[in-house]
């Protein structure tokens, strides 16, 4: 499965799609990026003096790249048998280290910790263009079969 196919299979669209591209993928890891455009509506009210990307949005970006996209890749061979699987975030524990401002590009790296009993758990790190860690944590998701 090509990385562009993975992005097209994500169950999100603008303004809630936080994946621009998947740059690397394997059975155990995934990397991708996203550019936080200044025009995003959430910047208007999240600190009116100095806009900052909300932590919930950063965690969502990490989950979309690090868990959902990796889950789609891992399930690509089983997709015919499963129907159209859905991936739902079940838990996250993210430490926010540095703020992400409007106009910044972020890079997400995720390593699979385990994938069993329909649960995918990953260690995910978000960095900036200088490779500074912005946030990191563990994110888990459940694979739900169609109709579940």
Cα 36–Cα 41–Cα 45 angle in degrees, nearest 5 = 105
Residues 6+ apart with CB under 8 A from 78: 85
Q: Of residues 9, 40, 46, 119, which has the active-site annotation?
A: 46
The token duo for 143 is 């694979």
Transcribe 1-54 into DSSP letters: --HHHHHHHSS--TTS---SEEEEE-SSEEEEEEEE-TT-GGGGTSSSSS----
> For residue 25, what are the CA distances in angstroms to 6, 42, 52, 124?
10, 30, 29, 14
Whether the ω angle into residue 104 lies within 30 degrees of 0, i.e. cis, is no
Based on the residue annotation, tell me whether 46 is a catalytic residue of this protein: yes
Active site residues: 46
């Amino acid at each position: 499965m090509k990385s562009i196919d993975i992005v097209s299979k994500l169950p999100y669209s603008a303004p809630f799609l936080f994946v621009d591209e998947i740059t690397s993928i394997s059975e155990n890891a995934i990397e991708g990026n996203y550019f936080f455009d200044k025009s995003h509506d959430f910047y208007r009210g999240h600190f009116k003096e100095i806009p900052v990307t909300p932590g919930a949005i950063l965690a969502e970006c990490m989950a979309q790249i690090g868990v959902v996209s990796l889950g789609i890749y891992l399930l690509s061979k089983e997709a015919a048998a499963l129907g159209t699987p859905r991936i739902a975030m079940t838990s996250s524990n993210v430490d926010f280290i540095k703020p992400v401002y409007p106009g910044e590009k972020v890079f997400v790296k995720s390593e699979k910790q385990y994938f069993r009993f329909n649960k995918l758990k990953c260690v995910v790190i978000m960095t900036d263009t200088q490779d500074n860690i912005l946030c990191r944590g563990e994110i888990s998701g459940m694979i739900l079969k169609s109709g579940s």
